[in-house]
Amino acid sequence: MFGRDHIEYKSPDQVRLMRRAGLVVAEIHTAVRAAVAVGVTTAELDAVAAQVLRAAGATSSLLGYEGYPATICVSVNDEVIHGIPGDRVLRPGDVVSVDAGAIVEGWHGDAAFSVVLPGPDGEEPDPADVALVETTERATWAGIAALAGAALLWLWPADRETAPPPAPHKSAPMAAARSGDDLTLLGPVSSGAGRRVGM
């Protein structure tokens, strides 16, 4: 499943198309983030994303995928992921997560973000909710930074009784999942890599 024999190398032109798709997703994020507010419905956020896609000449990676009926996913509070936009009205203090995907000439870009709406009467949002969003964003960037220096990566069940498969170099956990997660991201650490992996 993982390994060099399963990597599809991309040409510079393919990478440019992938980047264009990613830039469309960034535009969706900017527009939807600006529209997220108390009193707005999740369907209205979906309409904002659809307009960005049309203007960019792109299509949604999500719309129609296995029957998915919307352009983006909007999850509110305790909805884990892939919430379907509809008539739900955003309320003070809601934690809103938006997942967007764009296709440009067959290449996909996909990313998500979360925001915490102000409390009633414009009060500061719940500090625990803000900490959750900030911590998960920092963890995401730390994982990306760790991946940037890795030559080989794989996921290994943390509770598995056997050791991970041998790697070309000494293996060490590169990014820790939060407490209770079932997977550990593993990758090689090589003294010849010229980069230091650390958190």
Helix (H, G, I), strand (E, B) or coil at 10: coil
Q: 59: which strand partners?
A: 103
Q: What is the mean pLDDT of residues 165-184?
A: 40
Residue by residue, DSSP assigns 41-79 as: BHHHHHHHHHHHHHHHT-EESSTTGGG--SSEEEEETT-
Q: What percent of the chain has pLDDT over 90?
A: 56
49 neighbors 72 (Cβ within 8 angstroms):
yes
43 neighbors 87 (Cβ within 8 angstroms):
yes
User: Which tens digits make up the pLDDT trace of 39-82?
Assistant: 999 999 999 999 999 999 999 999 999 999 999 999 999 988 88
User: Which tens digits make up the pLDDT trace of 101-139?
Assistant: 999 999 999 999 999 999 988 899 999 999 999 999 999
- Fold classification of 8-125 is Creatine Amidinohydrolase (3.90.230)
Report the 10 Å Cβ neighbour count for 41: 15
Please tell me the distance from the alpha carbon of residue 4 to that of residue 81, in angstroms, as a whole number. Answer: 30
Q: What is the mean pLDDT of residues 159-185?
A: 42
Q: Does the pLDDT of residue 183 top 50, yes or no?
A: no
Instruction: Check: pTM over 0.85? Answer yes or no.
Output: no
Task: Decide: residue 192, CB within 10 A, 0-12 exposed, 13-18 middle, 19+ buried.
Answer: exposed
Torsion of CA 191, 181, 85, 29, to 10 degrees: -20
